C-alpha cells in the first residue's frame, strides 16, 4: 500500500514538474514574441534599432533553404538519438574529448547550411579584428598606444570591434597571424575552437560543483546548444572558451581544497580569468561565476579555505594586470575611453533612445540563444547546481542595465549563456530526447531564416 502511494506521489510531482517546465517555456516564448512585435512596431514608426532589419536578433528575415540544411539535421538526429546514451556510457576523458568534437561539428554544420563560405565570412568584415591585425607591430607598442586610437574621432581609429574591447582580443588574432595562421579562415578556427572548448569546461565544473551524473546529463544539451549559431563564427565564442576554463579550474581548485595541486589550479584559473578581462570589458561580470564555484564549497572548505582559493586566483588575475600595465595599457583608463567610444558610435544614440526596449530585447535574444531546454531546466534546477545559472543570470543582468550593451546579446552573452546549460541536468531522463530535439530545431530554424552577420 505504501509503495503504491509513493508511486502516486511521484507521478503527481512529476506531472507538476512537467507543467512548470512547459509553462516557463511558453511564457519565455510569449515574451520573445511580445518583444519582437514591439520592435517591429518601433521600426515601422521610424525607429532605427540597427539590428539589420531584425527586431530581436541581429539580421533580417531572409530564408535560405537548400539541401545543405540536411547537414545540421543529420547532426541533430544523431545527437538526439544517441547523445544521452553515449554521455552515460563513455569514459569521462572520452566524454570530454568527444564533446569538443561534437560541439564543433554542430556549430560548423549550422553555419554551412547558409553557405559553404559562412565559416570565415564573418571574419572578413571591416568591423572585425582581422582588419586591424596588420597594424600590430609588437606587444609593447600596441599596449602603449592602443588607447590613442580608440576614440571615434582619433587620427586613425580602430575598427568597431577592436575599439570596443581591450587589446587582448586583437593580440590573440595578431599572435595567430605571427604563427603563420593569418587570415579570416584561421581566425574562424580560433573562434569555433574556443566555443567548442567551453563545453568540457562546463562539464568539468558541473562535476566539481554537483556530481558526475549531473555532468553526464548536461553533456548532450551542451553539445546541441542553440547558441552554436553564433559560435560559428564570432569572437565571443573564443572569449567564452577562455572564461569557461578559468572558472572550471577555479571550481576544481575549490573542490580539491587547500593543497599544492589545488593552489596551482586556482592560480591557472586566475590567469585565464585575468586574460578574459583583457578580451572583453563585459567579462568583469563573470567574477560572479568565479565567486559562485568557490562559495558553493564553503561548507567543506570553511571560510578560511574559501579566502585562500580566491586569494590565489586573485594573484593570477593581478599578474595579468601587471603584464599589461607594464606594457603601457591601464585597464581602468581603457574602459573609460571605450565607454565613450561606444557612446560616440553610429548606432548608440538611436538605440539609447529606446533603452527600455533593449532592456527586454537583450533578454529576448539571450532566451533564443539559450533555447527551450535550458528554460525548461531552470524550472527544476535545485541545490548546489543552482549557483551556476544564478550567477550567469546575475552577470547578464549587470550587462543589461549597464547601458553599454544594446542589442547583439545573442553573441555578446555567449560567455554567460553556456553557464545556463547546467540547468538541463534537472530535466527527467525519460524526456531528454524530447528536450534535445526542442533545442536543436529552433537553432536550425534561426540559421535558415535569419541572415546574421555572425
Task: Write the DSSP assignment of 128-176 as a string of letters.
Answer: SGGGGGGG---HHHHHHHGGGG-STTSSSPPPHHHHTS-HHHHHHHHHH
Q: How many helices (H) and strands (E) does the chain have?
A: 21, 0
Three cell numbers written together for 414? 555567449
In angstroms, the CA 339 to CA 193 distance is 29
Three cell numbers written together for 295? 562559495
In angstroms, the CA 51 to CA 367 distance is 17
What pLDDT was estimated at residue 60? 87
Q: How many Å separate Cα 368 from the centre of its chain?
A: 13
Query: For residue 3, is pLDDT > 80?
Result: no
In angstroms, the CA 246 to CA 254 distance is 13
pTM metric for this prediction? 0.95
> Per-residue pLDDT averaged across 388-399, rounded?
97
Coil, helix or strand at residue 403 = coil
Q: How many Å separate Cα 306 from the centre of its chain?
A: 26
- CA distances from residue 122 to 111, 129, 419 in whole angstroms, order as listed: 11, 10, 25
Query: For residue 408, is pLDDT > 60?
Result: yes
What pLDDT was estimated at residue 117? 87
The tens digit of pLDDT for each residue in 219-265 reads 999 999 999 999 999 999 999 999 999 999 999 999 988 888 999 99
Instruction: Report the percent of the chain where pLDDT is more than 90.
Output: 87
The tens digit of pLDDT for each residue in 66-84 reads 999 999 999 999 999 999 9
Instruction: Report the percent of the chain where pLDDT is more than 70.
Output: 97
What pLDDT was estimated at residue 13? 63
What pLDDT was estimated at residue 347? 84
Tell me how far apart the terminal alpha carbons of the chain are, to the nearest angstrom.
Answer: 59
> Per-residue pLDDT averaged across 56-60, rounded?
93
| Inter-residue contact 291 to 390 (CB < 8 Å) | no
Query: For residue 8, is pLDDT > 90?
Result: no
In angstroms, the CA 256 to CA 73 distance is 41
What pLDDT was estimated at residue 76? 98
Q: How many Å separate Cα 238 from the centre of its chain?
A: 9
What pLDDT was estimated at residue 17? 81
What pLDDT was estimated at residue 182? 93
Query: For residue 346, is pLDDT > 80?
Result: no
- The mean pLDDT of the chain is 94
In angstroms, the CA 251 to CA 120 distance is 34
What pLDDT was estimated at residue 5? 40
In angstroms, the CA 390 to CA 393 distance is 5
Strand (E) or helix (H) holding 146: none
The tens digit of pLDDT for each residue in 106-146 reads 999 999 998 888 899 999 999 999 999 999 988 889 999 99
> Per-residue pLDDT averaged across 137-166, rounded?
92
| Inter-residue contact 396 to 366 (CB < 8 Å) | yes
Please enumerate in sequence order all residues whose Cβ is within 8 A of that of 332, keeping only pairs 6 or more positions apart, or say none. none
Q: How many Å separate Cα 149 from the centre of its chain?
A: 28
The tens digit of pLDDT for each residue in 313-325 reads 999 999 999 999 9
Amino acid at each position: 500500500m505504501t509503495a503504491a502511494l509513493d508511486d502516486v506521489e511521484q507521478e503527481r510531482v512529476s506531472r507538476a514538474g512537467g507543467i512548470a517546465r512547459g509553462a516557463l517555456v511558453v511564457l519565455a516564448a510569449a515574451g520573445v514574441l511580445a518583444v519582437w512585435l514591439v520592435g517591429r512596431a518601433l521600426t515601422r514608426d521610424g525607429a532605427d534599432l540597427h539590428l539589420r532589419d531584425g527586431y530581436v536578433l541581429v539580421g533580417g528575415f531572409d530564408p535560405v533553404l537548400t539541401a545543405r540544411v540536411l547537414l545540421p539535421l543529420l547532426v541533430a538526429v544523431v545527437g538526439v538519438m544517441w547523445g544521452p546514451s553515449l554521455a552515460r556510457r563513455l569514459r569521462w576523458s572520452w566524454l570530454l574529448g568527444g564533446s569538443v568534437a561534437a560541439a564543433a561539428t554542430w556549430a560548423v554544420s549550422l553555419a554551412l547550411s547558409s553557405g559553404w563560405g559562412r565559416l570565415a565570412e564573418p571574419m572578413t568584415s571591416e568591423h572585425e579584428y582581422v582588419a586591424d591585425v596588420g597594424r600590430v607591430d609588437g606587444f609593447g607598442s600596441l599596449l602603449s598606444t592602443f588607447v590613442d586610437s580608440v576614440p571615434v574621432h582619433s587620427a586613425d581609429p580602430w575598427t568597431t570591434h577592436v575599439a570596443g574591447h581591450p587589446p587582448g582580443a586583437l593580440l590573440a588574432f595578431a599572435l595567430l597571424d605571427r604563427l603563420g595562421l593569418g587570415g579570416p579562415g584561421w581566425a574562424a578556427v580560433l573562434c569555433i575552437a574556443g566555443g567548442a572548448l567551453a563545453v568540457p569546461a562546463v562539464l568539468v565544473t558541473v562535476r566539481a560543483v554537483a556530481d558526475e551524473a549531473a555532468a553526464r546529463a548536461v553533456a548532450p544539451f551542451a553539445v546541441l546548444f542553440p547558441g552554436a549559431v553564433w559560435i560559428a563564427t564570432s569572437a565571443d565564442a573564443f572569449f567564452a572558451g577562455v572564461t569557461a576554463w578559468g572558472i572550471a579550474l577555479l571550481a576544481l581548485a575549490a573542490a580539491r581544497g587547500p593543497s599544492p595541486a589545488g593552489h596551482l589550479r586556482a592560480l591557472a584559473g586566475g590567469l585565464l580569468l585575468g586574460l578574459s578581462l583583457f578580451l572583453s570589458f563585459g567579462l568583469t561580470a563573470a567574477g560572479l561565476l568565479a565567486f559562485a564555484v568557490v562559495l558553493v564549497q564553503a561548507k567543506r572548505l570553511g571560510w578560511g579555505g574559501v579566502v585562500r582559493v580566491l586569494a590565489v586566483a586573485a594573484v593570477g588575475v593581478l599578474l595579468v594586470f601587471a603584464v599589461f600595465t607594464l606594457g603601457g595599457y591601464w585597464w581602468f583608463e581603457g574602459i573609460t575611453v571605450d565607454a565613450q567610444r561606444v557612446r560616440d558610435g553610429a548606432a548608440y544614440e538611436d538605440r539609447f533612445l529606446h533603452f527600455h526596449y533593449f532592456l527586454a530585447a537583450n533578454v529576448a535574444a539571450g532566451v533564443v540563444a539559450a533555447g527551450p531546454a535550458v528554460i525548461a531546466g531552470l524550472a527544476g534546477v535545485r541545490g548546489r547546481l543552482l549557483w551556476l545559472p544564478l550567477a550567469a543570470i546575475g552577470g547578464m543582468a549587470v550587462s543589461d542595465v549597464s547601458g553599454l550593451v544594446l542589442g547583439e546579446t545573442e553573441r555578446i552573452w555567449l560567455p554567460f549563456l553556456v553557464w545556463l546549460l547546467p540547468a538541463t541536468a534537472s530535466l527527467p531522463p525519460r524526456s531528454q530526447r524530447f528536450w534535445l530535439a526542442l533545442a536543436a530545431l529552433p537553432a536550425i530554424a534561426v540559421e535558415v531564416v535569419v541572415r546574421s552577420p555572425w
